[in-house]
Structure 1
Amino acid sequence: MTITELLDYCMKKPGAEQSVHNDWRATQVKVADVLYAMVNEEEGRPAVSLKTSPALAELLRLQHKDVHPSRYLNKAHWSTVYLDGSIPDSQIYYLVDDSFQQAVDSLPEQARQQIYASATDSSRLL
């Protein structure tokens, strides 16, 4: 998977907005100003940082050498996944979906309703 493919997938989510974090040389993808993906190159490799439950983060890190704690974000919840590694694209897409859903779930009810209303069909949410 390439950075372009991942960003295309992230930006198809309802309410997704993209910005650049210059200090970290990363592209941030947010919904209603809540971060759900941070894409950059780490150690010369394409990577994405995604939010998961602490239990899933620990499991992923134990099972995959291409998953490690995020350098800049809360290490209990955020993991960096190399896009060119051993993790199948389908699993990366699942992790993006989960991170997006966590971001949406953290929003106030009115903001969530606006996000859902902006989706033209339910397949855009997950």
Structure 2
Amino acid sequence: MQGEALQERARARADELPGSRLVHPFGPDWDVYKVRDKVFMLMTAVTGEPIVTLKADPEDARALCGAHDDITPGYHMNKRHWITLHPAGSLEHDLVDDLVTESYLLVVEKLPRAQRPVDPATFGGDRSR
């Protein structure tokens, strides 16, 4: 998936998620998506290419980085818990959608039950690991 298309795909999926909102706490060069004031996705082009950074389970993050040249440890984030998607072209639309959703659900499941906009165990189908 190429540059702007990667970010547009990730943005479209994030906009569909209940309770998701876009903020700019780091200035206009960073799009930050939060659910209940917790970050689950960041997008920028300050690196020279339009990237998407997402929360990920550490084991999943290692596997994804090993399986895809376009996925690296999180740019300016904890390298175990975040991944960055690069727009070199090989990432499928469904994978981007799934990674955005998984990032969102990782954040939602850490929220107090009363603050969760969805049940992370049932939202989006089977999440067995």
TM-score tier, shorter chain, comes to 0.7 to 0.9
Match of 2:41? 37
Name the CA distance, whole Å, in 1 between partners of 2:23 and 2:7. 14
Q: CA deviation at 1:116?
A: 3.0
Are 1:7 and 2:40 matched, yes or no? no
1:85 pairs with one of 79, 89, 101? 89
| Structure 1 runs of 4+ with >3 Å offset | none
Using structure 1 for the length normalisation, give the TM-score. 0.82
Flag structure 1 segments of 5+ consecutive residues without an equivalent.
none
Greater per-residue strand proportion: 1
Indicate the RMSD between aligned Cα atoms, in angstroms. Answer: 2.1
Does the aligned pair in 2 maintain the 1:35–1:103 contact within 8 Å? Answer: yes
| TM-score of the superposed pair, with normalisation by structure 2 | 0.81
Aligned to 1:95: 99
Number of aligned residue pairs: 118
Match of 1:20 among 13, 24, 34: 24
After superposition, what is the alpha-carbon deviation per residue over 1:48-104, rounded to whole angstroms, capped at 9, x for unaligned?
111111111111111111111112111101000114421111111111111111111
**Other structure's SS at 1:45 match:** coil
Equivalent pair of 1:61/1:68 in contact (CA under 8 Å): yes
Identity percentage of aligned residues: 25
